[in-house]
Copies of this chain bind each other. A is one copy, B any other.
């Protein structure tokens, strides 16, 4: 198998390195040698993490996708413009394409997979979600007997690192983000990671594969972690919860929910104990029940592990195209965010006066929201108090109504914080 690589950065370099060390055992397993023969790079002279002595380098990426000897193109340059052109050209030239590019698949996957099907080539993207964890293969093959009811994943390592730091060390968000940046886990502009866009890309891919629907990235309700405070984490801990940034996809009647947001989960859940930059995806199938897949969500060789596994699947003819590989897709409407049912955590800052708690509980009961538990604490050197509340399972619009009603009260001292709770059972 002759391979052309677009991009020899972290992932591309990792692919070359892993093939160099494990090429023999892959050949022993498959009977075939995977050879990277050509790589498109931005600057031929740049230092790299891999040995390129037997790889032809070019600064013209189209030379890779148009090369007649190449069977498989690895798209590892990112972005959604040039990469789309290159992938389309490769497919039209009859080459299989493997990509780690979640943004490209989330935004243009429907048409690209159709194009791959029309050209009878594979377009595979195991590496686009949760790095090296073989979660796409698990959904497509291991769990193929199941009707998937829901999935919930920690699918952004940067965000999980920040929340883990905040919990373990009592840091606030800005501090933990600075640490993530210093360690190279977060970009200078961290928006994609901390505002949930990266997770939303990945969630839309997982949901499409789990439910056999088309990709619907633009319908994902997305909320980042930048508003999670050290106080929220402290109150959550006190109430028996850990705050994680989850991507959640769930059947809800004839529709599906797709949402990315900070979430309180019980400390007893295995996924609550997934810390640092690690990723994990919990899947609930109607036959298997709950299963969980955990591992490195990023890194050169971890991501390369998934890219190369896709190549081996092509060698063994062990895959059909994701999503549109289903013989017929189901049309599943995405549920409006207001209509999502959930338990909620609510945190208020109120003036510490007699009668305030009675007013608050009255607002809850007027909106038919029950309080399951409540913690109240005086704020040091202040006449204000924090109140943290756990509600019963209600519609999102009802908790929004409670929030608005409380924010209109004189005793209220700050915007009311709301975070979803997931039982994950």
A-side residues, CB < 8 A to B, are 14, 18, 21-22, 25-31, 126, 132-134, 137-138, 141-147, 212, 270, 273-274, 285-296, 299, 301-302, 304-309, 312-313, 316-320, 326-328, 330
Contacts and interface: CB of A to CB of B under 8 A. Distances in A.
A295 B320 CA distance: 26
A355 B291 CA distance: 53
Contacts of A14: 287
A293 B270 CA distance: 12
Given A18-B287, A330-B28, A312 B141 contact: yes
Given A28-B328, A270-B274, A141 B295 contact: no
B291 A133 contact: yes
A161 B313 CA distance: 37
Given A294-B292, A317-B317, A328-B28, A145 B286 contact: no
A326 to B, nearest CB: 5
Contact of A289 (B31, B132, B316, B317): B132
A305 B143 contact: yes
Nearest to A289: B296
21 contacts: A14-B287, A21-B147, A22-B286, A27-B327, A28-B212, A30-B327, A132-B288, A132-B291, A137-B137, A142-B306, A145-B304, A145-B307, A145-B308, A285-B305, A287-B302, A288-B296, A291-B296, A316-B320, A317-B318, A318-B318, A318-B320
Q: For A126, A273, A318, which residue has the most chain B Cβ atoms within 10 angstroms?
A: A318
Contact of A326 (B28, B318, B327): B28
A301 to B, nearest CB: 4
Contacts of A286: 21-22, 301
A328 to B, nearest CB: 5
Contacts of A138: 134, 137-138, 142
Nearest to A300: B287
B302 A142 contact: no
